[in-house]
Chains A and B, each alone.
Chain A
C-alpha cells in the first residue's frame, strides 16, 4: 500500500539553504575554485570520474565541490548529468601500448624493455606529515625550484641549511625542495615512445594465457543500456568493475589474496599516462583524435596449474581506470582474474569468484541509494508493522490468560 503524504516543502527549502552554508564553511576562509580542486585534488577527481563513469576532470572537480568532498555523492552527480547528454557513439578501442608513460613498474621483470619508471608515486614516501603544506615557508630564493641546474642546487642547499630543523622533520620524498640527490630532467632523454606491455613478453614464449579479440571483434555489451544477465561475460564484468566502488573492489581483491580465493598474483605491470581517444564521426568517415585522457592500467599475472586442454601457464587479470588510480586498477585486475574461475574450470566458492555477487554489489551509486533510502519516510509501512506486533502480543497475552497451567507454550508450538 502506498499513501502519498504531503508536507515539508518549507523544511526542504530551508535545508537547501543550510547545506549551501555548510558547504561554504567559515566565510573568513577563501572559497575553493573548481580549477584548484581539478589541479590539486586530481586523485579524488579520478575516483569521481571512475565511479561516475564519465571522464571530465572539470566536472569531477565541480562535483566534489558541490558534494563537499563526498566522493559517492559526487559520482552520483556525474551519473545524473551524463543522463542528460546525447551519446555520439563509441570510441575506437584504446591502444594502451601507445601510452605517453608517466609511470610504469613491473614486479616480475627487473630489466624490462623501456625500464622501470617510478613516476609520481607515494610508494616510497614515509607517510610523515609535510607541515610545510599547512604553513608554507617564506618565499624561497628565485633560483630554487627552477629545475636542478648548478645555481639552483646551491640555492636549494642554502635554503636547506637555513631551515635545517624543519627539513629534519620532513619527509624528503614528499617535499620537492628537500631532495638531496636530485635526478634532473634536463639532461634526460625522453622515454621510449613505445613500451611493450609486460604480459606480451611472456606471451611470446607461450607461457601466458593469450588475450585476443573473439572472432569478428564484437561490439561490447553496454550495461547502461541493456539489463545484465548471468553468467556475465568478461566485457560486462570489466565495465561493471570499471565503474564499481574502489573500496568494494579493494576489499574483494584483498579477500582473494587472503585466502578467500585461489590466487597467487604478481603485478606484471602497472602503467599510468596519457592515451589518445579516437572517434569516427559518421559524417566524416575517418578517425578524429579527440585529445588525450589519463589512464591507469594493471596487468596482474597469476599462476594456473593447467587442465586437460590447457598446459600449465600464467593467467591474466586486467584492470583499467580513468585518471591516476592504481589501487582501483590493481583491485579490478585481481577480481577480474577471480571471476574467470568458471572459464578455467575452477570451483567458484568465494565471493570474489561469483559474478552475480560482485556485479550486483559493486555499484556504489545504486548501493548508496538502496541503503540510504531507509532514512526516507516509511511511516505507513512502519505503522502497519506496529499494529501487527501489537496484535500478536495481545493474542499471546490472551492465550496465556486462557491457559494459565500450560508451561512454555512456545516450546510446544
Chain B
C-alpha cells in the first residue's frame, strides 16, 4: 500500500470507531501528547451524491452531518479527522491519532491498535453478512406431471 492508501485506511477505521474506542486506542499509546488545535472540532454537512440508475448522471441525494478537526503536534505533524456524525470529542481524539500514526513505525502500538479495530469492524460486517445470508432463498423446482 502507498503511504496515502495506508493513511486512508486508518482514517476510515477511525471514522467508523466509537469515541470510546478511539479514546482507548490513544490511551494505550501513553499520555495525550501536547498539540495545537488548528481547526477546532466543527460540525457541518457534506452533500451526498448518488447516480441515476446507480451509474448514470449525478444527483444530490441529501446532506449528512460531518464533524472535522485539525491538530498539530510539537513534531509538526498535522492530524486530520473527518467523520459522519456530530461527535466533537471523537473528532479531536481521531485527529491526534492521525498525527501520531504518521510518525509511528509500522510495528508501532498505535498501528497494531488500528488493525485490531479494523479486525473488529470486519468481524461485525461479516456477522451482518452471514445473518443476511441466512435469509438467502434456496429455490427448488417442482416438476409437473413427472
A and B together in one complex: yes
Interface assignment of B46: CB less than 8 Å from any CB of chain A? yes
- List, in ascending order, chain B residues with CB within 8 A of A276's CB: 12
- List, in ascending order, chain B residues with CB within 8 A of A55's CB: 48, 62-65, 84
Of A28-36, A256-264, A282-290, A384-392, the segment with at least 4 beta carbons within 8 Å of chain B is: A282-290
Q: Which of A225-258 contact B (CB under 8 A)?
A: 234-236, 238-239, 242-243
Find out whether the CB atom of A85 lies under 8 angstroms from the CB atom of B130.
no
Find out whether the CB atom of B132 lies under 8 angstroms from the CB atom of A235.
no
Per the bound structure, the CA–CA distance linking A56 and B83 in Å amounts to 12
Find out whether the CB atom of B57 lies under 8 angstroms from the CB atom of A235.
yes
- List, in ascending order, chain A residues with CB within 8 A of B63's CB: 53-55, 82, 87
Interface assignment of A21: CB less than 8 Å from any CB of chain B? no
Find out whether the CB atom of B80 lies under 8 angstroms from the CB atom of A281.
yes
Given contacts A90-B48, A288-B82, A318-B56, 7 further A-B contacts (CB under 8 A): A55-B62, A85-B44, A96-B50, A102-B132, A117-B136, A286-B8, A290-B15
A interface residues, Cβ below 8 angstroms from B: 49-50, 53-56, 58-59, 82, 85-94, 96-97, 100-103, 110-111, 115-120, 183-186, 188-191, 197, 199-200, 211-214, 217-224, 234-236, 238-239, 242-243, 276-277, 279, 281, 283-284, 286-293, 297, 299, 316, 318, 320-322, 336
In this complex, what residue of A is CB-closest to B13?
A289
* Set A100, A200, A238, A290: member contacting B55, Cβ < 8 A: A200
In this complex, what residue of A is CB-closest to B4?
A286
- List, in ascending order, chain B residues with CB within 8 A of A277's CB: 46, 48, 64, 84
Of B26-34, B100-108, B109-117, B121-129, the segment with at least 4 beta carbons within 8 Å of chain A is: B121-129
Find out whether the CB atom of B45 lies under 8 angstroms from the CB atom of A54.
yes
Interface assignment of B53: CB less than 8 Å from any CB of chain A? yes
B interface residues, Cβ below 8 angstroms from A: 4, 7-8, 11-12, 15-16, 42-66, 68, 70, 80, 82-86, 125-137, 139
- B61, B65, B68 — most chain A CB neighbours (10 Å): B61
Find out whether the CB atom of B46 lies under 8 angstroms from the CB atom of A94.
no
Find out whether the CB atom of A94 lies under 8 angstroms from the CB atom of B82.
no
Find out whether the CB atom of A213 lies under 8 angstroms from the CB atom of B57.
yes
Per the bound structure, the CA–CA distance linking A213 and B82 in Å amounts to 28
In this complex, what residue of A is CB-closest to B51?
A93
* Set B8, B49, B54, B133: member contacting A211, Cβ < 8 A: B54
Assuming the contacts A53-B62, A239-B60, asked whether A220 and B48 have C-beta atoms less than 8 A apart, the reply is no
Per the bound structure, the CA–CA distance linking A96 and B135 in Å amounts to 21
Per the bound structure, the CA–CA distance linking A206 and B43 in Å amounts to 46
Q: A298 to nearest B CB, angstroms?
A: 10
Find out whether the CB atom of A87 lies under 8 angstroms from the CB atom of B44.
yes
- List, in ascending order, chain B residues with CB within 8 A of A238's CB: 50, 52, 59, 61
Closest A-B pairs by Cβ, 5 of them: A211-B53, A289-B12, A190-B129, A211-B56, A55-B64
- List, in ascending order, chain B residues with CB within 8 A of A89's CB: 46-47
- List, in ascending order, chain A residues with CB within 8 A of B85's CB: 56, 58, 291
Per the bound structure, the CA–CA distance linking A91 and B7 in Å amounts to 19
Find out whether the CB atom of A100 lies under 8 angstroms from the CB atom of B58.
no
Find out whether the CB atom of B61 lies under 8 angstroms from the CB atom of A94.
yes
Find out whether the CB atom of B56 lies under 8 angstroms from the CB atom of A292.
no
- List, in ascending order, chain A residues with CB within 8 A of B125's CB: 100, 190
Q: B100 to nearest A CB, angstroms?
A: 17
In this complex, what residue of A is CB-closest to B61?
A242
Find out whether the CB atom of A185 lies under 8 angstroms from the CB atom of B130.
yes
- List, in ascending order, chain B residues with CB within 8 A of A299's CB: 53-54
Assuming the contacts A103-B132, A188-B130, A191-B133, asked whether A214 and B57 have C-beta atoms less than 8 A apart, the reply is yes
Find out whether the CB atom of B135 lies under 8 angstroms from the CB atom of A183.
yes
Per the bound structure, the CA–CA distance linking A35 and B63 in Å amounts to 21
Find out whether the CB atom of B54 lies under 8 angstroms from the CB atom of A197.
yes
Find out whether the CB atom of B55 lies under 8 angstroms from the CB atom of A211.
yes
Assuming the contacts A56-B86, A58-B86, asked whether A97 and B54 have C-beta atoms less than 8 A apart, the reply is yes
Find out whether the CB atom of B64 lies under 8 angstroms from the CB atom of A115.
no
- List, in ascending order, chain A residues with CB within 8 A of B86's CB: 56, 58-59
In this complex, what residue of B is CB-closest to A321?
B61
- B53, B129, B132, B135 — most chain A CB neighbours (10 Å): B53
Find out whether the CB atom of A88 lies under 8 angstroms from the CB atom of B46.
yes
Find out whether the CB atom of A92 lies under 8 angstroms from the CB atom of B49.
yes
Q: B62 to nearest A CB, angstroms?
A: 4
* Set B59, B80, B130: member contacting A284, Cβ < 8 A: B80
Q: A246 to nearest B CB, angstroms?
A: 14
Find out whether the CB atom of B54 lies under 8 angstroms from the CB atom of A111.
no
Q: B79 to nearest A CB, angstroms?
A: 11
Per the bound structure, the CA–CA distance linking A185 and B126 in Å amounts to 10
Selected A-B contacts with CB under 8 Å, 22 pairs: A58-B86, A59-B86, A87-B45, A87-B47, A88-B66, A100-B129, A117-B132, A117-B135, A184-B134, A189-B130, A211-B56, A213-B55, A218-B58, A220-B59, A238-B52, A238-B61, A276-B12, A284-B80, A287-B8, A290-B66, A299-B53, A322-B62
